[in-house]
């Protein structure tokens, strides 16, 4: 038997399918036995809805898909369904998420366990299609949990884990995946047994929030200042405390499937690392490659922290990593920006590490906006720079931009 | 067989002691709508006076499950709800109870979406003809000439004909009603309850502070609205237009009360000049004539 045939045999036994991340999402929604989906097209999310409608119409999947007239309504549909105890899903990106924003915030305040995929994409003006993480990170301030898988298998697994997380905390969860880079790239994924998923995320969990004519209640009516702040506090501490839960859910899923993603942070070659990168999403693979490369090429002890969970922010884990290891300088790669300040994640990392007795030098890097590539070579150069920072040869700047091509820009820029 | 006032149930589903103003039209409407629907109903309420009237947490005047939603979300939230309930074998009515701002303006795309998909929702718009919860500001339901906080010299544009817009979606049932004609409203709710698909009922509901109306004139003004032809009560059932009994007599000009009787008791029309009133009168003549001709005919 050839290697290829052997692999094919094992794959058949294991139920492996070669799919895009968007199809992996649709499959996960099917496996999660979602009841109601609010569907509105926007690139690069649209094919998720195409797959789901196909499963529904040609494979008689028992799923209510509402083809709504806007993203605002897509989330409203998910909210209405979740409010009576059903399992709800929607997906969006970019402008769609912005248009949906009011409902996104409302669902979080309503403590409804909705799961949403954001296939991350930059936002206009000007019109732009390429990937960056700003959109999927915005709701981290709105009371949602935000998870960021790296590849298609993890996309599938993270959606199942997201339902577990949402059902346990009554906090909605965003699974943010890199638009185009993941959403439209095919990779093999292994599908679990349906029974395994059913027992991991049972649908008969307690739903104290569910509206029912048998025990009527009113949801979302006015509160005054004596209660609103406490409601916000409850969301705050539930998300903060969920850091352990994300780890736990990851371990439980790993036990069933053998796939361990490291919980809130995937730690890569950190034990002896002196410099490290904090990254998230699909390009993390390049960061890991570069770490291996600079170890071989320059003997720089490099490592990677891949954030899987942005909310809950991995405060405990980051403290543990920097208390246990001797990392001298880190670079935080943000495919997003907080204008005039730095990368969003860098800001949060600095906030988290400031009080540590031995905190590393922290350099914020912004890049990869609007689909711009961050190449292996860029990561290599960043590691070299971090090595200089670690050895006191270079100072940390508030924020650095990767691959800023001002020569090209100035050809078009209007002098003011 | 029309319901008589005596046969409307005593059971209350929207309780007294709520936060509404004295003479509030929406509460009269909601109270009787819920009496017609009974306890097996889920209410969806977008931003409106109804969000406040139901009373703040931890109190609620509603004895049926009630979901509050942002302004433009009610028809979609109701859609998600009804799809989930039907999927799980539950047959309860899902009712949107929305104001005219949430229906005519900010929520119109959402209402149109749900109507086009013919969702199994009873959508009720209580029409007090302005954004009353913000303190009285013009909406596209505000009649021409009306004073509001944002039309201090009177609104320049005509009221939008939303019942016809909804009917153009080929939904099974559209109706208008007035809180002054409770049995007519009650029967329309009963009929809507028996129909599967999207039902739209628009109810004239006076707002005493917004209309600058003495408390005791609330029901009277809702009645005069019909009797003067300012507000026509009708049904559009499967595309067939039918003028409802309370409006029928007032289609003829000689039977109609002069519109001044409706306008003069409301402060919001106080500034109107004779020629303004004449123009309103002409509009009533035209629309009444039109409705008389359409009566019994297919309109969509």
Q: Report CA dihedral (B157, B163, B164, B166) to the nearest 10 degrees.
A: 120
pLDDT band at A3 (very low <50, low <70, confident <90, very high): low
CB–CB contact A106 B73 (8 Å): yes
- The CATH-assigned architecture of domain A265-407 is 3-Layer(aba) Sandwich (3.40)
From the centroid of its chain, how far is CA A14? Answer: 26
Q: List the CATH number of the domain containing B47.
A: 3.40.50.970
Phi, psi for residue A331 in degrees, rounded to 5:
-115, 130
Query: CB contact, 8 Å: B73 with chain A?
Result: yes
Our measurement of the distance from residue A123's CA atom to the centroid of its chain's CA atoms, rounded to an integer in Å, reads: 17
Q: What is the pLDDT of residue A185?
A: 97
Structure tokens at A204: 């008969």
Intrachain domains A11-257 and A265-407 with the same fold: yes
Q: Answer for the pair B47, A220: CB distance below 8 angstroms, yes or no.
A: no
- Using a CB–CB cutoff of 8 Å, tell me whether B84 touches chain A: yes
Query: Can you give the pLDDT at residue B3?
Result: 83
Chain B neighbors of A222, CB-CB under 8 A? 51-52, 56-57
* Partner residue facing A70 (CB), from B63, B77, B109: B109
Q: Is residue B299 assigned to a domain?
A: no
In this prediction, residue A14 carries a pLDDT of 82
Tens of pLDDT, residue by residue over A130-161, are 999 999 999 999 999 999 999 999 999 999 99
Sign, CA torsion A34/A36/A42/A48:
positive
Among the partner residues A74, A85, A221, nearest to B60 by beta-carbon distance: A221
Of B40, B70, B109, nearest to A213 by CB-CB distance is: B40
Q: How far is CA A288 from the centre of its chain?
A: 18
What is the structure's pLDDT at A416?
A: 72
Does A64 contact B87 at a Cβ distance shorter than 8 Å? yes
Torsion sign (Cα): A377, A379, A384, A385? positive
**Residue of B59, B61, B78, B83 best to disrupt the A interface, most CBs of A under 10 A:** B83
- Strand arrangement, sheet containing B240-243: A218-219, B66-68, B41-45, B93-99, B122-127, B199-204, B173-178, B234-237, B240-243
With tokens 């490659």, the residue in question is A289
B118 shares contact with chain A (CB less than 8 Å): no
- If DSSP codes are grouped into helix, strand and coil, which group holds residue A395? coil
Question: ipTM of the predicted structure?
Answer: 0.96
| Residue A214 backbone class (left: φ over 0; alpha: ψ -120 to 50; beta: rest) | alpha
Dist CA B199 CA B167 (whole Å): 9
Residue A300: phi and psi, rounded to 5, are -90, 125
pLDDT at A224: 85
Over its C-alpha atoms, chain B yields an Rg (Å, rounded) of 18
What is the span of the domain harbouring residue B240?
Answer: 16-294
List residues in chain A touching B: CB distance below 8 A: 35-36, 38, 62, 64, 66-70, 72-74, 76-86, 88, 102-103, 106, 211-213, 216-224, 227
Is the CB of A81 less than 8 angstroms away from the CB of B83?
Answer: yes
Q: What is the mean pLDDT of residues A157-177?
A: 98
CA distance A121 to B271: 54
Using a CB-CB cut-off of 8 Å, the residues of chain B touching A67 are 117
The answer to whether residue B54 neighbours chain A at the CB level (below 8 Å) is yes
- Note the pLDDT of residue A9: 63
- Considering the four listed CATH numbers 3.40.50.970, 3.30.1320.10, 3.40.190.290, 3.40.1160.10, the one that applies to the domain covering A11-257 is 3.40.50.970
Q: What residue in B sits closest to A105 (Cα-Cα)?
A: B70
Total CB pairs under 8 A between chain A and B: 155
Count of structural domains within chain B: 1
Q: Show residues of chain B in contact with A73, CB under 8 Å.
A: 73, 75-76, 79, 109-110, 113
Kindly give the parts of chain B with pLDDT less than 50: none
* Average pLDDT over all residues of chain A: 96
Distance from CA of A76 to the nearest CA of B (A): 5
Please tell me what DSSP assigns to residue B134: T
CA nearest to A76 within chain B: B77
Cβ-in-10-Å burial (0-12, 13-18, 19+) of A215 comes to exposed
- 3-state DSSP call for residue A19? strand
3-state helix, strand, coil in chain B (%, to 5): 40, 15, 45
Flag if A79 and B73 touch (Cβ within 8 Å). yes
Partner-chain contact B79 A68, CB within 8 Å: yes
Taking contacts as CB-CB distances below 8 angstroms, the residues of chain A near B19 are none
Under a CB-based contact definition with an 8 Å cutoff, are residues A343 and A312 in contact? no
| DSSP code for A220 | S
Share of chain A above pLDDT 90, in %: 94
Say whether residue B34 is in contact with chain A using an 8 A CB cutoff.
no
Contact A64 B109 (CB under 8 A): no
Q: With CB atoms and an 8 Å threshold, state whether B57 touches A79.
A: no
Per DSSP, B102 falls in state: I
Based on the number of CB atoms within 10 Å of its own CB, is A231 exposed (0-12), middle (13-18) or buried (19 or more)? middle
Give the residue from B19, B55, B76 with the most A CB atoms within 10 Å of its CB, the best one to mutate: B76
Adjacent-strand bridge partners of A338: A342
Predicted confidence band of residue A217 (pLDDT cuts 50, 70, 90): very high
Tokens 């201090």 found at:
B152
- Cα separation, B201 vs B187, in Å, equals 12
Interchain pair B81, A64: CB under 8 A: no
Q: Which residues of A touch B41 (CB under 8 A)?
A: 213
Tell me if B15 sits within 8 A of B39, measured CB to CB. no
Q: At A256, phi and psi to the nearest 5? A: -80, -35
Question: Per the domain annotation, does B271 fall within a domain?
Answer: yes
Determine, for residues A227 and B57 on separate chains, whether the beta-carbon distance falls below 8 Å. yes
Nearest CA in chain B to A65: B83
pTM of the model: 0.96
* Confidence band for A413, pLDDT divided at 50, 70 and 90: confident
Distance from CA of B165 to the nearest CA of A (A): 17
pLDDT tens figures, A245-274: 999 999 999 999 999 999 999 999 999 999
DSSP summary character for residue B101: I
Residues of B in contact with A88 (CB under 8 A): 80, 84
Rounded CA-CA distance A171/B165 in Å is 39
Residue B11 lies in a domain: no
Helical (H) or strand (E) element with A145: strand A145-147
Tokens of A121: 């994409």
* Residues B212 and B268: beta-carbon distance below 8 Å: yes
| Per-domain boundaries in chain A | 11-257, 265-407
Residue A7 has a pLDDT of 60
Residue A298: predicted pLDDT: 98
Which of B51, B87, B112 comes nearest A221 by C-beta? B51
Q: Does B109 touch chain A (CB under 8 A)?
A: yes
A48-71 pLDDT tens trace:
999 999 999 999 999 999 999 999
| Best of B84, B86, B90, B97 to mutate (most A CBs within 10 Å, chain A) | B84
Q: Kindly provide the b/e burial profile for residues B255-292, where b requires at least 16 CB atoms within 10 angstroms of the residue's own CB.
A: ebeebeebbebbebbeebeeeebeebbebbeebbeebe
Cβ contact A387:A298 at 8 Å:
yes
**What pLDDT, in 10s, does the model give residues A267-312?**
999 999 999 999 999 999 999 999 999 999 999 999 999 999 999 9
Establish if B287 belongs to a structural domain: yes
| Position A233 pLDDT exceeds 70 | yes
pLDDT at A92: 98
């Amino acid at each position: 038997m050839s290697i290829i045939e052997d692999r094919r045999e094992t794959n058949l036994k294991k139920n492996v399918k070669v799919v895009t991340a968007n199809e992996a999402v649709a499959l996960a929604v099917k496996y999660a036995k979602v009841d109601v989906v609010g569907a509105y097209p926007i690139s690069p999310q649209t094919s998720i809805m195409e797959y789901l409608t196909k499963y529904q119409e040609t494979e008689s999947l028992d799923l209510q898909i509402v083809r709504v007239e806007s993203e605002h309504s897509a989330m409203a549909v998910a909210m209405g369904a979740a409010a009576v105890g059903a399992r709800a899903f929607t997906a969006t990106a970019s402008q769609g998420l912005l248009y949906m924003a009011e409902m996104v915030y409302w669902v979080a305040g309503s403590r409804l366990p909705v799961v949403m995929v954001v296939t991350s994409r930059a936002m206009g003006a000007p019109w732009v299609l390429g990937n960056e993480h700003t959109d999927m990170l915005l709701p981290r301030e709105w009371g949602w949990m935000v998870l960021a898988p790296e590849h298609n298998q993890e996309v599938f697994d993270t959606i199942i884990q997201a339902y577990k997380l949402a059902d346990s905390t009554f906090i909605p969860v965003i699974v943010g995946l890199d638009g185009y880079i993941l959403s439209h790239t095919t990779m093999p994924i292994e599908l679990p047994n349906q029974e395994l998923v059913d027992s991991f995320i049972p649908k008969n969990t307690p739903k104290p929030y569910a509206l029912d004519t048998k025990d009527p209640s009113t949801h979302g009516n006015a509160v005054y200042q004596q209660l609103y702040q406490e409601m916000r506090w409850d969301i705050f501490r539930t998300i903060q405390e969920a850091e352990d839960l994300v780890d736990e859910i990851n371990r439980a899923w790993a036990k069933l499937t053998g796939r361990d993603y490291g919980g809130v942070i995937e730690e890569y070659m950190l034990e002896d690392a002196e410099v490290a990168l904090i990254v998230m999403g699909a390009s993390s693979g390049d960061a890991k490659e570069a770490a291996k490369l600079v170890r071989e090429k320059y003997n720089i002890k490099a490592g990677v922290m891949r954030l899987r969970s942005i909310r809950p922010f991995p405060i405990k884990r980051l403290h543990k990593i920097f208390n246990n290891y001797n990392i001298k300088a880190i670079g935080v790669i943000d495919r997003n920006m907080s204008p005039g300040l730095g990368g969003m994640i860098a800001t949060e990392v600095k906030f988290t590490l400031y009080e540590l007795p031995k905190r590393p030098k922290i350099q914020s890097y912004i890049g990869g906006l609007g689909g711009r590539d961050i190449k292996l070579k860029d990561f290599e150069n960043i590691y070299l720079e971090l090595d200089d920072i670690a050895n006191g040869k270079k100072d940390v700047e508030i924020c650095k931009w990767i691959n800023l091509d001002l020569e090209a820009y100035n050809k078009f820029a209007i002098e003011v | 067989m029309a319901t008589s006032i005596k046969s409307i149930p005593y059971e209350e589903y929207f309780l007294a002691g709520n936060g509404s103003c004295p003479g509030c039209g929406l509460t009269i409407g909601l109270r009787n709508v819920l009496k017609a629907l009974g306890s097996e109903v889920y209410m969806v309420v977008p931003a409106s006076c109804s969000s406040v009237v139901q009373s703040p947490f931890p109190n609620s005047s509603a004895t049926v499950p009630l979901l509050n939603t942002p302004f433009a979300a009610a028809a979609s939230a109701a859609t998600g709800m009804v799809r989930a309930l039907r999927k799980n074998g539950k047959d309860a009515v899902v009712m949107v109870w929305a104001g005219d701002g949430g229906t005519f303006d900010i929520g119109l795309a959402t209402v149109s979406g749900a109507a086009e998909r013919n969702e199994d929702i009873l959508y009720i718009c209580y029409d007090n003809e302005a954004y009353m919860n913000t303190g009285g500001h013009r909406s596209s339901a505000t009649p021409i000439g009306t004073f509001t906080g944002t039309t201090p010299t009177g609104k320049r544009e005509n009221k939008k004909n939303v019942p016809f817009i909804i009917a153009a979606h080929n939904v099974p049932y559209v109706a208008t009603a007035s809180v002054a004609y409770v049995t007519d409203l009650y029967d329309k709710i009963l009929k809507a309850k028996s129909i599967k698909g999207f039902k739209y009922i628009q109810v004239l509901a006076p707002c005493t502070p917004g209309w600058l109306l003495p408390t005791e004139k609330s029901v009277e003004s809702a009645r005069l609205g019909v009797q003067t032809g300012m507000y026509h009560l009708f049904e559009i059932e499967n595309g067939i237009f039918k003028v409802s009994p309370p409006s029928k007599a007032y289609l003829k000009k000689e039977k109609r009360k002069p519109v001044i009787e409706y306008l003069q008791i409301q402060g919001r029309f106080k500034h109107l000049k004779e020629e303004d009133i004449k123009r309103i009168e002409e509009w009533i003549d035209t629309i009444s004539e039109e409705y008389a001709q359409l009566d019994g005919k297919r309109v969509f």
